[in-house]
Structure 1
Amino acid sequence: MNCLKLLKPVTEIVLLAGNLLSAEWCRPGGPRGYGDKAEVDAEIEVMLRRSLLELLDCDFWGEETGARLTGHEYCWVVDPNDGTSDFLLGRKGSAISVGLLLNTAPVLGVVYAPVTSDRGPDCISWAIGGDSVFRNGKSVLFRLNHLNLTLGSRVLVSTAAASKPKLNAELCAPAEFIPTPSIAYRLARVAAGDAVAGASLVPVSAHDVVGGHALLIGAGGVLLDQDGQPISYESEALMMRASLRCFGGAPDACRELSKRDWGRLFAA
């Protein structure tokens, strides 16, 4: 299977799914749902599951419609609306995330935030064999390999960081911290050059991060767990809980961030 040839049709499928998310955002009375469950999430995943399996019939791991794990070398990994809680609270930036694993390694990713606060619809994609990450159809000539935390660089963190700005500023220093919905979109934005790293300080599953992980690989980045070790998807248990915390982006920056005492945010 040529993953690079898959990228265009997968991106088209994700963009179509984005229309459902945009329509739900604009729905009179606001999106349906409460807490961390929106009704549109399942509707989007049903559409994605059908379309992606028609494109490549293989294993599937979804947040809403469950898993089909048969041992196939390929596996689609889907989050239909990463950042649902923020979406339901009226915060822009939740994203559809589609990743493809080959023998548990990310080889394709498409992350699409149809409603953002600063860029309009934002689709970031990559597949193995490609020379660069693409953003809205245009090649992004950006590499994370040799970047580090420096004055003026950025670390993308969850929207909860806005409630503890002083402590988050200290933990991300000398970089600036930027509260952003959706770990999938945070990782995608890092791969596209918006920041040196993105983080989640709560447990993540494969559906949260595989799409973004693929994009980081395409930009020369890494995705590390709370111990500074590479995140993997080698078992069903790891698919269910990939890490307790994760740090994605420039290798040196992520290793440094993983060593910091993020527990202070929860104790304060």
Structure 2
Amino acid sequence: MTHEPAYLALAHAMADAAADVIRPHFRKRLAIDTKADASPVTVADRDAEATMRQMIEAQFPDHGIRGEEFGACRTDAKWIWVLDPIDGTKSFVSGSLAFGTQIALVHRGKPVIGLINQPITGERWFGTGSGATLNGEPIHTSGTTALDEAILYTSALEQFDPSRHDRFSALAAKVRFTRFSHDCYAAGLLALGGIDLLVESNVFDYDILPQMPIVQAAGGIVTDWDGRQLGDASRYDTVLMAANEELHRAALKALRPA
């Protein structure tokens, strides 16, 4: 990858800079605005993304940018940065630690760098073709292959329409247990081997593309609920992340429409 060291360094520098912006706002009383899609946003979200965008413009002005708060520019560029300054804003404004900054670098439609950074705990997941790490230490997904032994996470049940809610419920009935509302932190736990399945619906590029290089480099599988590979899109109707191929096959079977 041309200039790969510089790209890796920029990803880490942006995560550091975003954390510096976000940290002073954590567990403070913040004004919460509501966006057109009814999701919340704060000054911390906006300022963190603005800071990261400025860093990209200063170092790689020919690169494209797609961000949650300020939209897209140069979308026909060969290299595009995908930014989610605070994934899990509802957790952030509630004082919960289940949030993080997400950064991806997409090359010709394929996410090749993924980063999830928790600004308060200092946990940083990073993934490239060379492997996945947590704070620099190699990580790997779990070896759980039996569905009834698997731990399933999802971010928000309200994201599921009725038919997908039924399909999710069919899967949830077969696993060891299910937990909710961890957003990007759940993808980090999947890559680390703490959980085994992550199922999402009605999510955006900035939600998923930063997670894919991490989960895949750690040994996981990422598709939609019908087993199709995820392309480079602005939105994904369904996402299934599994710790390994065998568990992925079992989850796909459970998710099939009745």
TM-score normalised according to structure 2 size: 0.81
The answer on whether the counterparts of 1:169 and 1:177 sit within 8 Å (CA) in structure 2 is no
SS at match of 1:107: strand
The answer on whether the counterparts of 2:127 and 2:133 sit within 8 Å (CA) in structure 1 is yes
The answer on whether the counterparts of 2:85 and 2:102 sit within 8 Å (CA) in structure 1 is yes
Match of 1:247 among 240, 244, 253: 240
Alpha-carbon spacing, 1:159–1:114, altered in 2? closer, same or farther (3 Å): farther
- Worse overlay, 31-40 or 190-199: 31-40
Alpha-carbon spacing, 1:262–1:69, altered in 2? closer, same or farther (3 Å): farther
For structure 1, the 5+ residue unaligned runs are none
CA deviation after TM superposition for structure 1 residue 157, in Å = 1.8
Structure-2 residue corresponding to 1:44: 48
CA RMSD of aligned residues (A): 2.8
Alpha-carbon spacing, 1:261–1:217, altered in 2? closer, same or farther (3 Å): closer
TM-score normalised according to structure 1 size: 0.78
CA deviation after TM superposition for structure 1 residue 66, in Å = 0.7
Match of 1:60 among 39, 45, 65: 65
Alpha-carbon spacing, 1:195–1:67, altered in 2? closer, same or farther (3 Å): same
In 2, Cα distance between the equivalents of 1:259 and 1:50? 45
In 2, Cα distance between the equivalents of 1:114 and 1:159? 22
In 1, Cα distance between the equivalents of 2:122 and 2:169? 28
For structure 2, the 5+ residue unaligned runs are 159-164
Structure-1 residue corresponding to 2:78: 73
The answer on whether the counterparts of 1:125 and 1:135 sit within 8 Å (CA) in structure 2 is yes
SS at match of 2:85: strand
The answer on whether the counterparts of 1:143 and 1:220 sit within 8 Å (CA) in structure 2 is yes
CA deviation after TM superposition for structure 1 residue 214, in Å = 1.2
Query: What whole-Å deviation, never above 9, does each CA across 1:10-47 have from its counterpart, x for those lacking one?
Result: 123202212322221132x3x33155222221111101
Identity %: 18
CA deviation after TM superposition for structure 1 residue 70, in Å = 4.2
Alpha-carbon spacing, 1:25–1:126, altered in 2? closer, same or farther (3 Å): same
1:89 and 2:94 correspond: yes
